[in-house]
Structure 1
Amino acid sequence: MALLTGDRKAGRPSSRPAPGGTRRWWTTRRRDHLAGYLFIAPQLAGSVLFVLVPLGLVVWYSLHEWNVLADTFEFTGADNYRAMVDDPNLPGVLRATALFSVGLVALNLSLALFLAVLLNQRLRGTAFFRVLFFSPVVVSLVAWTIVWGFLLQDNGGINGLLDTIGVDGPNWLRGDLTAMLSVIVVQVVKNVGLNMVLFLAALQGVPGELYEAARVEGASRWTQFRRITVPLISPTILLTSIITVVGSLQVFAQIAVLTQGGPGSSTTVLVYYLYQQAFQFHHFGYGATISVLLFLIVLALTVVQWQMRKRWVFHEQ
């Protein structure tokens, strides 16, 4: 009975002094703590080496003027930040970035949810269409963009199809509005399948009894969708919105391959402007400053979305 008392009765390691009157240092609790730290050590080391350290270096570089051609690295303090505030091109770049992000997020999420609801039905052929809409996700981004570049040319495949029905299509990549629309559509078609799969997984977790009860009460399909489907999949909507917003602010390859920021600067988003300043004009310090701005924008939007979850995410209410 004495063995069932004290710390041993509670399932905790005994703190009884070891023979000789000294307390043991290498206890079961310390061994468990060490095992936990060893398990998280690879992820922690990766986060420090590939996230925190590069972020700190970017901030450090933004305080310098670094010219690799002249091999100079001079401390300039806040000069790059003052130059960014006075940059006459930056408002247009931010406007193009906002237009691209809003268009991409709205079209991607709405289309992905629409496709998920359709393909969640138990109908013949749904498996084929699930694979069809998801397949662009696994295609190489550069190859996908190059193919669409040929299709969107003035004499490309899309205008060829329009010509068969008597429609004279525009030069999609040379008009201010059509160029931005083209880039958005190319990106949406490329990645809509990923959000569609996430929504499908969430929809299949909604209990069918709720829909049966709603039908008994005379609720329409729209009411069922608004009152049952959307609240129960709202955590997935939050996840996909954060992923899509962050991804829309980091788009580069599509702009570089399709429009190179043109015509003019109508499709010059922030990441492509950063690339121009750092790797075309060799203003690495100013490019790092734009990187800091991009990081702050992404951080602010993520925090805002995370805080807003308390108002509309079902499990957070």
Structure 2
Amino acid sequence: MTEAETRAVAERAAARRPFWTIRRRDYLVGYLFITPQLAGSVVFVLLPLVLVGWYSMQEWNVLAGTFEFTGAENYAKLAADANLRSVLAATGIFSAGLVALNLTLALLLAILLNQRLRGTTLFRTLFFSPVLVSLVAWTIVWKFLLQAEGGINGVLGAAGIDGPNWLRGEATAMLSVIVVQVIKNVGLNMVLFLAALQGVPAQLYEAAKMDGAGAWTRFRRITVPLISPTILLTSIITVVGSLQVFAQIAVLTQGGPGTSTTVLIYYLYQQAFQFHHFGYGATISVLLFLIVAALTLLQWRLRRKWVFNEA
């Protein structure tokens, strides 16, 4: 059979082949399954990002009804903003304090609750229950407790201690906001750590004990490496969450005293919705997005150095 005849036979076979082959049907089903998620990502993630970038190059005054293209003026204004340094410092202090305290306390609680002791179920419920409470209601209750004549100072007064006005001192205001947020969400990371701890094989601890390893050595050499993927997950979630805390600042301190608790997202709110500088607010949101993306990427890249089985 000549080459031309072979080609003709192949073409006739291809013509008889049905269009909806099994492979194409499988592809179609797969695309149909991911379409809702893909559409949601485009509409609620990608499109808003593009619009925020566009708005950041505008001077948009809703009250005056003006919408004027200004190019990079908002970014130049951001670089020259005298308040930006203090806002970034407050954001860094808040995020660092929240992440360190939350992860440390969550891991300690998980280790304690992982012991086979009576009443652990009750304590798990108590520590996790604040996660389920309404955020605004939780914050309002703590605002009353932290006032000069509130419940915290009432307890301290009964012990002969004159407590400060927690929400009006520059140092105590930041500490108060951090502690309130940690108590609210520490239960979530605690549950994640607890699940990871329960997945560590008990045989490894028994073998380490037989080799003479102490409690600290077992924790450092067995527990931490095997739960390191969960540590990575909780650290990313907590870091991103710390940069998005708004309601607690708005209810407890309104960014004060001064700008001591004015974190970046609250500063964004002030510029956009209090001072009606929507273009400048969009510029700040671009900065916030870049910070979140950079920190997440940094943690993801560093995982190879300390996360078990990621090298």
TM-score, structure 1 as length reference: 0.94
- Count of aligned pairs: 302
CA distance in 1, matches of 2:60, 2:172: 37
> Where does structure 1 lack aligned partners over 5 or more consecutive residues?
1-15
Residue of 37, 46, 49 corresponding to 1:43: 37
> Do residues 206 (structure 1) and 200 (structure 2) align?
yes
Aligned to 2:24: 30
Q: How big is each residue's C-alpha offset from its partner over 1:57-78, in whole Å with a ceiling of 9 and x where there is no partner?
A: 0000000000000000000000
Aligned to 2:185: 191
Q: CA deviation at 1:23?
A: 3.1
The answer to whether the 8 Å contact 1:18/1:24 transfers is no
Aligned to 1:178: 172
Aligned to 1:9: none
CA distance in 2, matches of 1:176, 1:81: 29
Q: CA deviation at 1:144?
A: 0.1
The answer to whether the 8 Å contact 1:17/1:23 transfers is no
Is the deviation greater in 168-177 or in 16-25? 16-25
CA distance in 1, matches of 2:194, 2:134: 24
Q: How big is each residue's C-alpha offset from its partner over 1:18-47, in whole Å with a ceiling of 9 and x where there is no partner?
A: 889533221110000000000001000000
> Where does structure 2 lack aligned partners over 5 or more consecutive residues?
1-9
Secondary structure of 1:73's counterpart equals strand
The answer to whether the 8 Å contact 1:94/1:269 transfers is yes
TM-score, structure 2 as length reference: 0.96
Q: CA deviation at 1:262?
A: 0.2
CA distance in 1, matches of 2:91, 2:145: 24
Q: After the TM superposition, which residues 93-104 of structure 1 pair with which residues of structure 2 at under 5 Å, given as runs?
A: 93-104=87-98
Q: CA deviation at 1:115?
A: 0.2
Secondary structure of 1:314's counterpart equals coil
Aligned to 2:6: none
Residue of 132, 142, 145 corresponding to 2:136: 142
CA distance in 2, matches of 1:78, 1:230: 47
Structural RMSD (CA): 1.2
CA distance in 1, matches of 2:20, 2:96: 56
CA distance in 2, matches of 1:149, 1:296: 32
> Do residues 267 (structure 1) and 278 (structure 2) align?
no
Secondary structure of 1:316's counterpart equals coil
1:207 aligned partner, one-letter code: P
Q: After the TM superposition, which residues 12-161 of structure 1 pair with which residues of structure 2 at under 5 Å, given as runs?
A: 21-161=15-155
Q: CA deviation at 1:305?
A: 0.1
CA distance in 2, matches of 1:133, 1:22: 66
Aligned to 1:309: 303
Q: Give me the identity figure in percent.
A: 77
Secondary structure of 2:16's counterpart equals coil
Q: CA deviation at 1:315?
A: 1.7
Aligned to 1:298: 292
Aligned to 1:13: none
Q: What stretches of structure 1 move > 4 A for 4+ residues in a row?
A: 16-21
